[in-house]
Structure 1
Amino acid sequence: MQMNFTLSGKEIAFDIAHCTVAGWTGRDAHAIQHHIDELAAIGVKPPSSVPLYYRTASGMVTQQDRIEVVGKGTSGEIEPFLIASDGVLYLGLASDHTDRELEAHSVALSKQICEKPVAKEIWRFDEVADHIEQIEMRSWISEQDGDDWVLYQEGTIASIRPLSDLIDGSGLMSSAPAGKASVMLCGTLGAKGGVRPAKRFKMALHDPVLGRTIEHSYAINELPEIA
């Protein structure tokens, strides 16, 4: 799947052949258990091991500002987004939008059923590698149709298992054929007030050292669930 991104003000294209969603990636054991518990509260079974690497279709990655889902039981979550292409690594921003009702039946299927919105801008990973864990992640939700944004998630990449561990554990750098790209969503933060659906989702990845921010927002269009 061909996708274009903006890198240092210029457009760069990738042919994405492989997509992985890393789950249960919290570094703090208590934070992981909190996320497991908040999902258990909506019926999601605990993971067999941590972290886990869920393979999803590359075509599920989207840069659109609106996604369509079935029913009212889905929600987004902010995640670092990695692109590996021809031995070079890039950092971006994504939302692992997930069907929470289906997640109670199968986490793997729930990851596959919803599109994964990603921001159009990316950074070279080697530009942020020396301060990667200082990079800040925030998301907001709007539960109405207005501008009633509520802070939903907040933290730094230091809250997540080291990205180098996830890169090695997933085989990201070697998973795509030559000339093609592999991408990975790298895990999230706990939700303030608990995991819940929203009308819109907004997210930001902020580099306080280089003073730059990647942002993306999208609306969620709920299609009727017909039996």
Structure 2
Amino acid sequence: MEIVLTLEGKDRSEPLNFAYTRMVNAGYVGRDQEEIRRHIDELAKKGIPGPKHTPTLYPVIPRTLLTDSKIEVYGDETCGEVEYVLLIENENTIYVGVGSDHTDRHLEETDIPRAKQICPNVISRRVWSLAEVTDHWDDLVIEASVVKEGEEILYQQGPLALIMDPKSLMEFVASKVKFPLENLIIYSGTLGSLTGEFVFGEQFMAKLTDPKLGRSLDLSYEILPMNYMTVE
């Protein structure tokens, strides 16, 4: 499979056709164990059982990767969460984008791996070379907002210093999978929400900001429930 993106460099931008064969989503990746517990507690309030071990890793169907500005979902209880995304061509060529692990929260209560397949992974249309941000990685900031009934709500925000850095994340993934880390997309896992609960809205926006180089990556998409018929 191949996804068409734009590689945004310090000095210029160029087209990037990134070929990939597999995709995985990590979870519970906070460096601070209290932050991990807070996120687990958030899910527990919604009836979603916590994992026996953290971090976690789930395989995701590669064709669910999208850059679309609109996504269709089944049901009213789906929402995104902001994550950084690693696009690994090989050990020497790695890109980073911002993404949303959009998930069916109702299905997640009983089957997390299946819940990861029913909604898309959305990614920014622009990415950076990981090498350009490695030396100031912890200063990067991710944030997400949700539009619900016309009101924009700040949903998540924090520095990447709060979650696993790319090297640690790749080492963790390598310890779990049975293939080399090549032509692979990794969703990093996320931060806890500022609202303390899921917000099921009609639009999701996410941003990855690099304050040192004065730039950002972003995505935005509308969430369209498939409510055009009655299913019995």
1:66 to 59, 70, 76: 70
2:128 to 117, 123, 131: 123
Task: Supply the distance in 2 between the matched residues of 1:64 and 1:166 (Cα, whole angstroms).
Answer: 26
Larger CA deviation: 154-163 vs 36-45: 154-163
TM-score under structure 1 length normalisation: 0.94
What's the secondary structure of 1:174's corresponding residue?
coil
How many corresponding residue pairs? 221
Show the counterpart of 1:15.
Answer: 19
1:163 CA drift (Å): 2.3
Gaps of 5+ in 1: none
Percentage identity across paired residues of the two chains: 32
CA contact (8 A) 1:18 1:175 kept: no
Show the counterpart of 1:174.
Answer: 180
Task: Supply the distance in 2 between the matched residues of 1:82 and 1:140 (Cα, whole angstroms).
Answer: 22
1:199 CA drift (Å): 0.6
What's the secondary structure of 1:7's corresponding residue?
strand
Task: Supply the distance in 1 between the matched residues of 2:148 and 2:119 (Cα, whole angstroms).
Answer: 19
1:91 to 96, 115, 119: 96
Show the counterpart of 2:203.
Answer: 200
Letter in 2 for 1:104: E
Gaps of 5+ in 2: none
1:82-140: per-residue Cα shift (whole Å, max 9, x none)? 00003311110100000000000011111111001110100000110011111001110
1:166 CA drift (Å): 1.0
TM-score under structure 2 length normalisation: 0.92
Alignment of 1:142-221 (within 5 A): 142-144=147-149, 146=150, 148-171=151-174, 174-176=180-182, 181-193=183-195, 194-221=197-224
CA contact (8 A) 1:138 1:204 kept: yes
